[in-house]
Structure 1
């Protein structure tokens, strides 16, 4: 690794001020992505701004019909939180399936959403539940936030502070994980919301997370696994790599969607 400056931010305001002083700074959340890329010299920030001591970025609370999660809340805390498990158990289950215990105790929801890895789990939950990404500057609907592979709507100097998830009538998440990394070869989050049925897919799209509209339409008329029998998922625009080709991923999307619907009873 190479030399860089290190700043420990005690609050969002301190982090934003530190970002403004540097032309090449990176925010450090759980470090599950940034540190490995730095070790491989794929990233070389001049300054690291550590958010781990920013108390105003942590915590989980139920606010009306939403669960609001601070950006520096770990996957483990999301998985075990009583409010999350009661209101959106699918979100708790999703968090409990990320990586291994070491990753779940270091990785954060804000870091995951900010990085927008195409095989990450949280983007599917955000898109299916109609979450709102809250920053130090504004509120961004999930539908407008995810822009492509590792791309988001975040601007320079913008820091995610919270993610607000509307509580659905029902939801379930099913994932086919890579056995080594636990990243999703395909992950499907299905939710019955006030705006209708939503099916969000991660791990499969060449442009990152997306909604499977054909499956949503099939479930809107008859919310059952049987309704998906004639709904075919196209392999166009899906990933093909050493782990799975596009046709296999298309097949998995259908299988996992059926499993998610069946899990909701």
Structure 2
């Protein structure tokens, strides 16, 4: 039986459709940020809950904890949600805009604010990535073959998921020239951009060498093997919850912030 997306993400699916193979497939198609976004959104939720647990009966967290969680929010939004972000994910404007408009009050934004975006990304992975991935590896092979053409997969789907390196690098250079503009001005300029659920899942991935990517994949999977969900690994003794994610080919935006909550 072929696994569903939930089983793959929970790393409970049988070979060859393992989490390691799925991450390798996303990396080879330059759309790993789709999975990284869901991991960092989950990490933000964990830190938010930890902050509130430390607040005690008053329900008012310490300024230090509040500022740290607020920084996590800002980095997540800048990387994944803001148009032209370094790892911008493909979500429609009616999902993106409410997140961009969210301003901190006495507390950082609640994790539930990200739920519509996380649900949309799961939907996109399920509809546009899961079947090509399942078809890209052979059930009887000794090891997954993620670089080959998917068996019986739609060539149109793969083409849409596989834009050229030159196009991505050109967009990255264009984005760098806009970094001096106010973030919300950039959002207003691109707010009317069309949305396509089967394309541009991988706008901002940074290409790396095959050997470096494979090394990072191996390290990430070995660390994730004890976690019920990817991204909640114990890789830093001084991180807030000892759970900074390590994912290939580069670390997600939230993985390098170290601050003990409480």
Answer yes or no: same fold by TM over 0.5: no
Greater helix fraction, Structure 1 or Structure 2: 2
TM-score (norm 1): 0.25
Greater strand fraction, Structure 1 or Structure 2: 1
Higher relative contact order, structure no. (Cα contacts within 8 Å, ≥ 6 residues apart): 2
